[in-house]
């Protein structure tokens, strides 16, 4: 009888351990899809004669965005902190409310609006992250205060 009870508790413990391990793997997969860079994929962002390099995230949104490159678009000024433009094709999204926006963040608002932030701030809006400019030095000056033409390429 003791063996049967011990066997039962051993099976219960193993089942619990395997379940916890599976949940952790799912969490890791979700984190990787939304926050890990795509290996070797750097994005060139050209504004006038200034070139910025961005690291792309490994998610479905970034991959769909990359499929539309190269892309040269007129980006509109908004709120003295961002430039935005509609993409030629919608992309899949997984929007969340970020804890804060940082200068250099490249995100999607909805499934068709690309947003390049050049100043940081707090927000209650939902975005899907695509990537981030590696070094934002000169970004504010390059983008200016008006609408601007921006090129994106690998």
- Tally of domains within the chain: 2
Instruction: Give the residues of the chain that fall short of pLDDT 70.
Output: 1-40
Residues 122, 46, single domain; the answer is yes
Q: Can you give the residue range of the structural domain that contains 6?
A: 1-35
Q: What angle do CA 86, 109, 90 make, to 5 degrees?
A: 50
pLDDT, tens digit, 9 for 90 and up, residues 38-80: 445 799 999 999 999 999 999 999 999 999 999 999 999 999 9
Q: What angle do CA 153, 63, 96 make, to 5 degrees?
A: 110
DSSP state of 131: E
Residues 73, 138, single domain; the answer is yes
């Amino acid at each position: 009888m003791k063996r049967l009870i011990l066997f039962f508790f051993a099976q219960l413990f193993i089942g619990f351990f395997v379940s916890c391990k599976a949940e952790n793997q799912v969490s890791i997969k979700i984190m990787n899809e939304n926050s890990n860079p795509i290996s070797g994929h750097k994005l060139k962002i050209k504004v006038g004669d200034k070139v910025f390099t961005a690291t792309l995230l490994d998610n479905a949104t970034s991959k769909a965005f990359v499929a539309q490159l190269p892309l040269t678009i007129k980006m509109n000024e908004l709120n003295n902190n961002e430039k935005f433009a509609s993409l030629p094709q919608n992309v899949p999204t997984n929007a969340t409310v970020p804890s804060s926006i940082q200068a250099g963040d490249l995100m999607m608002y909805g499934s068709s609006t690309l947003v390049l932030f050049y100043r940081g701030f707090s927000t209650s809006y939902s975005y899907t992250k695509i990537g981030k400019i590696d070094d934002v030095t000169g970004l504010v000056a390059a983008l200016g205060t008006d609408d601007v033409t921006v090129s994106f390429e690998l």
